[in-house]
Structure 1
Amino acid sequence: MRYDASTTQTGSRALSASAQKVLRNTYMLLGMTLAFSALTAFYSLVTGLQLNIIVFFVGVYGLMFLTHKLADSAWGLLSAFAFTGFMGLSLGPILGMYLGAGMGDVVVSALSMTAFVFFGLSAFALITKKDFDFMGKFLMVGGLVLFAGIIANLFLGLTGLHLAISAGFVIFSSALILFQTGQIVNGGETNYIRATVTLFVSIYNLFLSLLSLLGMSND
């Protein structure tokens, strides 16, 4: 029997029930993948595991592509956990650097702010039920600009550019949370695996960006 993470929408009442189902499944899977990612982050933190930059990019984009490809099958769930677990492994060394420098309060602050922003924006999208489709082009262009900035700064190593990229990712990730939640609420996204991965990446980037900004301000 074929497993399908998508839902069918027929009529206004069915659309509402469909959106509720996708939203419920998305938040359930998001909670589980965040917990699993936290476990893998803890593992890499205590073992001192380090990921080569090339391994990181190949792993992230390879697993992300695989998850989107398998999102309509049961294998998509396994791939989603593999992707989020890998992201957690990459987070351990970063957390270790901050904790080793005695900046545990910065980590807690970044985590708290990330949770506040995510729940606040999600609540706004759920309550207003606004359509954020107009943000699609902004997100596409913004994502390309930020990616180009990351690549450029790998060679330039400019502190100012790093700050600008981190601030840009805070705005980009926040906008993506609004956009994706709006897509679910209004029936634009009917696959909870894809929705989960998008929200997970948004939370991950938001946390890292806030961590970077708070860490630099602390210095």
Structure 2
Amino acid sequence: MADVNTIRSTTGARATQIDVGLRAHMNKVYGTMSVGMLITALAAWAISGLATTTDPALAAAQMGNGTMLTGLGAAIYTSPLRWVIMLAPLAFIFLGWGALLRRANAGTVQVAFFGFAALIGLSMSSIFLMFTSLSIVQTFVVTAIAFASLSLYGYTTKRDLSGMGTFLMMGVIGLLVAMVINIFLQSPAMMFAISAIGVLVFAGLTAFHTQEIKSTYVAHASHGDQDWLDKAAYDGALSLYISFLNMFQFLLMFMGQQE
């Protein structure tokens, strides 16, 4: 596994160049991820505002908590379209992202990432109908602090975290299966367990992905593979973005106060 020791074993100016490049690469990863989170938040807020109204004349449906929905809101939250919105991000990750990394240039990959962030915002817009704005903000702050601490650990630790990857991905698959089952069972106890395990799994993935991003940069920079590194920054941003987003959603199940 390539790590910071690879930099130290490289002599002279080349080692300094890789070290400086690594810091710039990580700044690009975190910066891209932050812009993606902003796009998601704005898209979710805008869609939730367009989809709700207190004017009964415009309301096409009503949610269980009394929130009135416009025709747009009814189409998003009470029709089969909601399944398209929920599944489209998964299709993008599993079917589209890898192909983009292999075939597209860095600019196209960047646009695709921001488009994905907007799509996630559409799928997450319902949280503004279900939870109070204050609890959403509070959960976001807690998530941001936890994420920063875990990512810093992943960046600075000398421990090899690569062995965690397979175990954590098995945990993600297990969570997806359990969530699908609970759609039919509607068990509060099972949902609590899913939320707790979900926070732990994506906390581990935050540290794991941070170290992986660092190691990938060192390995490719040593061979001067700049074209791949430009796209790898967006790939790393996506990995951390997904970890942050899932930690936030699972924590919101604990901390969120419903409308």
The interval holding the TM-score normalised by the smaller chain is 0.7 to 0.9
1:152 pairs with 178, 181, 193, which one?
Answer: 181
- Distance of 2:142 and 2:83 partners within structure 1: 30
Matched position secondary structure for 2:126: helix
Match of 1:199?
240
- List 4+ stretches of structure 1 deviating above 6 A: none
Q: Secondary structure at the match of 1:154?
A: helix
- Report if the CA contact (8 A) 1:66-1:79 is conserved: no
Code of the aligned partner of 1:69 = A
Instruction: State which drifts further: 47-56 or 23-32.
Output: 47-56
| Equivalent position of 2:250 in the other structure | 209
TM-superposed CA distance for 1:17, in Å, is 4.2
TM-score (norm. length: structure 2): 0.72
Q: Does 1:70 align with 2:111?
A: no
Aligned partner of 2:115 among 60, 82, 89: 82
Q: What is the deviation of 1:110?
A: 0.9
1:169 aligns with 2:202: no
Compared CA separation, residues 21 and 68, structure 1 to 2 (3 A): farther
Give TM-score scaled by structure 1 length. Answer: 0.84
Amino acid in structure 2 at the alignment position of 1:28: G
**Greater C-alpha radius of gyration:** 2
Question: Displacement, 1:96?
Answer: 1.9
Unaligned stretches of 5+ in structure 2?
Answer: 1-5, 52-72, 220-228
- 1:109 alignment partner, SS class: helix
Partner residue of 2:209 out of 153, 175, 180:
180
Please report how far the alpha carbon of residue 195 of structure 1 lies from its aligned counterpart in structure 2 after TM superposition.
0.8
1:68 deviates by 3.1
Counterpart residue number, 2:137: 108
Q: Aligned letter for 2:121?
A: G
**Residue type at the aligned position of 1:20:** R
Give the CA deviation at 1:62.
Answer: 2.3
For the residues of structure 2 that align with 1:36 and 1:129, how far apart are their CA atoms?
34
Distance 1:33 1:113 in 2: 19
Cα deviation, residue 165, structure 1 = 0.8
| Structure 2 residue corresponding to 1:33, chosen from 31, 36, 59 | 36
* Equivalent in the alignment of 2:124: 91
Paired residues of 1:68 and 1:76 also in contact (CA < 8 A)? no
Does residue 59 (structure 1) correspond to residue 88 (structure 2)? The answer is yes
Aligned to 2:236, what secondary structure does the other structure show? helix
Amino acid of the structure 2 residue aligned with 1:86: L
Residue 6 of structure 1 aligns with which residue? none
Cα offset for 1:18? 4.5
